[in-house]
A and B are shown apart, each in its own frame.
Chain A
């Protein structure tokens, strides 16, 4: 079972920032926080990952709290094409299988 908790669904207006929260209160020191998304009928798409520090790439920013018990994925300027299910996942530094929970269904509306 997934060890992370996410809201079931969220809406966001096109052009605004989408902030997707994730709780991972039992995360251990050597586990990374990963974000993937799955657009209907496509394969999961890697977005970003982090261990302790905040991270930013061309797709998104990842903000991890100091105690590492929660994080927020930020899509700075959401577009209609960002409508998808977003998954927050913990992965040990030793590797291991990806466990996708229910995720957050993000709907970006015009």
Chain B
């Protein structure tokens, strides 16, 4: 069972470069999410998409953009990478945005910006 698949698993960028993190889910979920996790800290929500065609800002959206390409795919773009964006990025999906609908996570993209 694939679940939530994130690519790439690892990436090193130079300051100012751009890149797109890809996320796809095969569970027919309506909602998708992007989080970042820094050492010693919990997950922080960057952006989410409650349903296909909608996106909303989370707790830490600055420096990021997202695209809900279709029901399966939700990408996260860094337009001009900064060292402060060095982190582990997790994508998640759920049936819907309500509290009784669990989020299921991918294994993350480890991003280093020099």
Contacts and interface: CB of A to CB of B under 8 A. Distances in A.
Nearest to A44: B105
Interface stretch (A6-14, A17-25, A66-74, A98-106): A98-106
Given A97-B58, A97-B59, A51 B100 contact: yes
Given A42-B107, A43-B106, A46-B104, A97 B45 contact: yes
Given A32-B99, A91-B99, A2 B105 contact: no
B61 interface: no
Given A42-B107, A43-B90, A43-B107, A100 B43 contact: yes
Given A97-B45, A97-B58, A101-B42, A92 B99 contact: yes
Interface string B13-35: 00000000000000000000001
B67 interface: no
Report whether over half of chain A's contact residues are helix, strand or loop; otherwise say mixed.
Answer: loop
Interface string A24-37: 00000011101000
A30 B99 CA distance: 9
Contacts of B99: 30-32, 91-96
Contacts of A93: 98-100
Given A2-B42, A43-B108, A44-B90, A98 B103 contact: yes
Nearest to B108: A43
Interface string A42-65: 111110010100000000000000
Given A32-B99, A42-B107, A95-B101, 19 more contacts: A30-B99, A31-B99, A34-B102, A42-B108, A43-B105, A43-B106, A43-B107, A44-B105, A46-B102, A46-B104, A51-B100, A91-B99, A93-B100, A95-B99, A96-B99, A97-B45, A98-B35, A98-B43, A100-B43
